[in-house]
Each structure stands twice: as C-alpha cells, then as structure tokens.
C-alpha cells in the first residue's frame, strides 16, 4: 500500500514570512494580514482541498542583527509586525470542521498554567484539532522583550522547555479523571470533587499547586510538534514530539536527520513511527516544466534578496549585512556559518558556496519548480527518503495554495500520495490512523495519569 503524505499550509499571521519582498506582488493578500477574512477564506480553501492542517509560525522580538540595526526587519515586515496565532486559531475553529490547526508558542510567552488552559479551551472549540509547535526562542530580542537580561544558554533553554512541558502535561493529564465530569442536573452535581485532583509540580523553574481550570478536552494534551535541529533539540523532540519540522536541503539530508532522531527514540522508551517528519518545501507550478520555470523567474523579480539575507543571518546569529555576499564562505572566519555551509555543500555537490548562497538556501533549496507530474515525482522521492508530510511555504497568499490544490492535489491523489477524504476524530487520530485521541502510554506525559487517587503521589519533581 502506498504511504500517503500529510500536507500542511505553512503560514504566519504577518506581512512577510519566507519569500520576503513578495508582499508587494499585486496578486497576494499578505498586506491584509490583519483582516480576518484573509484567514477564514484560506482555511476554507485548505479544507475544501483536504489539506491536513494549517501550521502557523511565530517569532517574538526584533533583533538589531543586520548591519547592526533592526531597520530592515521593520521596513520589510520580516516577521514584524505579527499577530498572536493562537487567537487566530480560535477564530478559525468556527469556519472549519476537519482542518488541523497548529500554532507556535514559545516557552517565553506564557506561564504553563495560563497556556495549558488556553490550549484546552481551543481543543474544546475545535473538537480536538489543536497542535502546539513548541519553541524555545533563540533570539536575544525575544528574551529582552519578556524581561530577561539576555538569551538563556542553548542547552539550558531545552531544560527550561522540559520543565515547561512537564508542568503542562500534569495539568492536562493529571488533574481531571476521565469520569470526573458528572453533568447530572437531576442529582445536582456537575463534577465529582474526589476525581478532580490538585497537582503539585516542582521543577527547576516552575512550582505549581492547584487544579487545571478546564475540563479534559478531546485530546487532553494537544498534538505536539517541535522543530529543533541541534543535538539538544533532537533529544527534546525524541522525548516529547509527535511530529518534528525539518528543513533539510535535500532528500538525502532529510534521510540522515530522520535516522538520527529515530535513533534517539529507544533511549527514552519510544520507537520509530512515534514521530512524524514534516519537511518544509514550496512550489511553483506550471502546465509544463518550462512554463513553471518562466513563472518562477517572474516571481523572483519580486524577491528582496537583502531581506532574505537578514532573515537567514538572524537565524544563524550572523550579521550578513556586514559581509561580502560574493565571497566564498570557506574564506570567511565566522563562527556559526561553517555547519550550515556544510549542509548547503552537501545539497549542491561541487558548488563553491558563497554567502549569497546561504541567504537563499532555506527558500530556494526547498523550492520545487515544475508541472504537477514533475512535482509529484519529486514528492515521491522525498517520501521515499522517509518524510511523512510537507509544510508548504507560500509565495503569494492564497495563490500558492490555490495552485497546489487545483493542479497538484489531483495528481497526488491518483498516485495515493494525498488523502481522498478526512478520517474521523481528532487531529491525533487523523495523523496516526488506528490510534486514539490521547497520547500513547509510552509518551512521558502519560506518566501523569498514573497518579489518580492520591494527591501525595502527585508531588513529582522534574
């Protein structure tokens, strides 16, 4: 049986997300990102096309990292300004029935108690279609925005993240028993007090005593996603994630990343297949390959390459604006560039990688240009490398998704690479056929379920 792929629209409730400069294109609605109808129209389009989900990115803070200033991020709207994706998800709950709604939230942004209640509320309103992309925020501006002196050390951020998710797990999984809600008007009792437990979490950063404010939602714990690529990030994903977002520069690179993360699962009591792998890609589609190439050239005329440099430089922690874009990277003695350069070289054998190539690597190495049949062939290659799904980045909104839905999805369905219809149930049940709405017992969150019946036994330190 052919393994089908999962397809998510990868968006951000901001002016400019991946292909910077295209907000100026006459056929995009990106400039109207504050208009709710842009997003409700998109959600309806995606559901009609039977996309699996809408995956919303988020970035906090504006770093002065391009030419030593924050100006280009503000001028070109590079992830700034942006709106709260969780609020957008709430608004989209009422116009969709099946579409998964996945949003990014950093451990910096909210206390676990407030965040856990917000997620439970959204999971109720969507009947179990919520996913959380767990991020640690790797820019100093985000840390300062929330009152920290500076960015927490890399590995320490993942220890913080583990404490954060452990606290949330105990609220979602350990407070209300399955039969705690009686909803008994005749007997005059809504809930059974003995079955609603006070959790006591004491970790390195959070101390929480009390009961979860929301009743158990359809999934209890949302579908969990993580996108770290470092060893610490991959360890965190192996322990906690149900899906991980990778941005490999080639199918072979994806194969290596998947093998590495799968190799980490056994040590934490999990197994290959417990994590889905979503690869970031984008598409330019034509009736023929030649037409697609022509459309790609026309699209590229709108791209602001300095903005691309500012985006990638910020992510790598390097001021690209102060360096010669045409100089071979191997001649630059700049910490933080060599590892990424190796990935680009592996994806482009024999190429002398220049700084300009790094600026476009994330957007253009992951772009497939061609006819629907060519794109289906390439997606089959990525699937054969081990990916389970694709986060599709857009160039125009909603045009990129309209083209994919109209022209590529029918070909993928004929080949068994895309779903024909939505499976019933929650997001977790849709993405893991045969599983139930809740996390499996091998996941660390399930440990919180073992403490029902004894408040004292809930006092577990992280």
Task: State mean pLDDT over 327-354.
Answer: 78
Residues above pLDDT 70, as percent of the chain: 96
**Bridge partners, residue 459, by sequence:** 200
pLDDT higher than 70, residue 247? yes
Averaged pLDDT for residues 322-342: 79
What was the pLDDT predicted at 43? Answer: 98
Please confirm whether the linkage preceding 81 is cis (ω < 30° from 0).
yes
39 assigned to some structural domain = yes
CATH code of the domain in which 394 resides: 3.20.20.30
Residue 198 lies in a domain: yes
Distance CA 223, CA 242 (A): 7
Q: Which of 76-85, 100-109, 318-327, 378-387 is the least confident region?
A: 318-327
Confirm whether 188 is domain-assigned: no
Query: What integer pLDDT is reported at residue 335 of this predicted model?
Result: 63
Question: Tens digits of per-residue pLDDT, 282-295?
Answer: 999 999 999 999 99
pLDDT digits over 31-85, tens only?
A: 999 999 999 999 999 999 999 999 999 999 998 999 999 999 999 999 999 999 9
**pLDDT attached to residue 451:** 58
Question: Does 149 score more than 90 pLDDT?
Answer: no
- Cβ–Cβ < 8 Å for 46, 75: no
- Residue 80 is classified by DSSP as -
Torsion, CA 401, CA 402, CA 408, CA 409, rounded to 10: 90
- What does each C-alpha distance from 1 to 4, 415, 416, 428 come to in angstroms? 9, 11, 9, 21
What pLDDT is attached to residue 400? 98
In a domain, 185, yes or no: no
Q: What is the pLDDT of residue 460?
A: 37
Q: Which residue has the higher pLDDT, 150 or 63?
A: 63
When the pLDDT of each residue in the chain is averaged and rounded to a whole number, the result is 93
For residue 71, with 0-12 CB atoms within 10 Å meaning exposed, 13-18 middle and 19 or more buried, which class applies?
A: middle
Of the candidates 211, 184, 218, 208, which has an alpha carbon nearest to the alpha carbon of residue 195? 211
Task: Tell me which residue range forms the domain holding 312.
Answer: 6-180+194-461
The verdict on residue 135 lying in a domain is: yes
In a domain, 189, yes or no: no
282 in Cβ contact with 18 (< 8 Å): yes
* 4: alpha, beta or left? (left if phi > 0; alpha if psi -120 to 50): beta
Residue 87 has a pLDDT of: 98
Examine the pLDDT at 171 and tell me if it is beyond 90.
yes
Domain count within the chain: 1
pLDDT at 454: 44
CB distance 23 to 66 below 8 Å: no
Q: Is residue 186 a part of any domain in this protein?
A: no
* Cβ atoms of 77 and 23 closer than 8 Å: yes
Check if the beta carbon of residue 326 is closer than 8 Å to that of residue 354.
Answer: yes
The predicted pLDDT at position 327 comes to 87
Q: What mean pLDDT do residues 326-350 have?
A: 77
User: In angstroms, rounded to a whole number, what is the distance separating the alpha carbons of residues 416 and 5?
Assistant: 9
pLDDT value at 396 more than 70: yes
Partners of residue 122 on adjacent β-strands? none
Kindly state whether residue 212 falls inside one of the protein's structural domains. yes
The tens digit of pLDDT for each residue in 75-130 reads 999 999 999 999 999 999 999 999 999 999 999 999 999 999 999 999 999 999 99
The pTM of this model reads 0.94
Q: How far apart are CA 135 and CA 104, in angstroms?
A: 7
């Amino acid at each position: 049986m052919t393994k089908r792929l999962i397809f998510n629209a990868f968006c951000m409730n901001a002016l400019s997300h991946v292909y910077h400069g295209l907000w100026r294109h006459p056929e995009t609605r990106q400039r109207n990102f504050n208009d709710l109808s842009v997003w409700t129209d998109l959600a309806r389009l995606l559901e009609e096309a039977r996309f699996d989900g809408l995956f919303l990115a988020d970035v906090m803070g504006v770093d002065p990292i391009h030419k030593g200033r924050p100006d280009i991020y503000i001028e070109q709207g590079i992830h700034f300004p942006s709106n709260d994706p969780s609020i957008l998800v709430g608004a989209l709950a009422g116009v969709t029935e099946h579409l998964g709604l996945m949003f990014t939230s950093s451990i910096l942004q909210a206390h676990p108690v407030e965040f856990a209640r917000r997620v439970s509320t959204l999971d109720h309103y969507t009947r179990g279609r919520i996913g959380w992309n767990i991020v640690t925020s790797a820019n100093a501006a985000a840390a300062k925005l929330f009152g920290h002196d500076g960015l927490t050390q890399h590995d320490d951020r993942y220890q913080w993240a583990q404490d954060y998710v452990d606290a949330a797990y105990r609220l979602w999984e350990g407070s209300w028993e399955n039969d705690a809600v009686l909803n008994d008007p005749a007997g005059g009792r809504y809930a059974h007090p003995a079955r609603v437990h006070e959790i006591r979490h004491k970790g390195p950063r959070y101390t929480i005593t009390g009961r979860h404010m929301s009743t158990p939602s359809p999934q209890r714990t949302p579908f969990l996603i993580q996108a770290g690529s470092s060893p610490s990030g991959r360890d965190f994903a192996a322990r906690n994630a149900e899906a991980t977002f990778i941005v490999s520069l080639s199918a072979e690179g994806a194969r290596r990343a998947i093998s590495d993360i799968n190799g980490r699962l056994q040590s934490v009591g999990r197994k290959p297949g417990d994590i889905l792998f979503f690869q970031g890609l984008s598409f330019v589609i034509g009736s023929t390959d030649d037409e697609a190439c022509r459309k790609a050239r026309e699209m590229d005329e709108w791209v602001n390459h300095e903005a691309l440099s500012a985006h990638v430089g910020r992510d790598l922690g390097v001021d690209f604006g102060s360096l010669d874009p045409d100089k071979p990277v191997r001649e630059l003695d700049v910490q933080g560039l060599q590892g990424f350069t190796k990935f680009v070289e592996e994806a482009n054998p024999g190429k002398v990688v220049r700084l300009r190539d790094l600026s476009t690597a994330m957007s253009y190495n992951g772009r497939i240009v061609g006819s629907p049949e060519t794109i289906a062939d390439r997606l089959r290659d990525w699937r054969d490398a081990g990916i389970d799904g694709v986060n599709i980045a857009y160039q125009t909104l909603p045009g990129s998704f309209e083209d994919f839905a109209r022209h590529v999805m029918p070909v993928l369905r004929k080949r068994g690479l895309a779903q024909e219809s939505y499976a019933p149930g929650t997001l977790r049940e849709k993405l893991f056929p045969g599983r139930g709405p809740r996390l499996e017992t091998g996941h660390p969150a399930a440990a919180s379920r073992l403490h029902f019946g004894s408040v004292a036994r809930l006092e577990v330190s992280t």
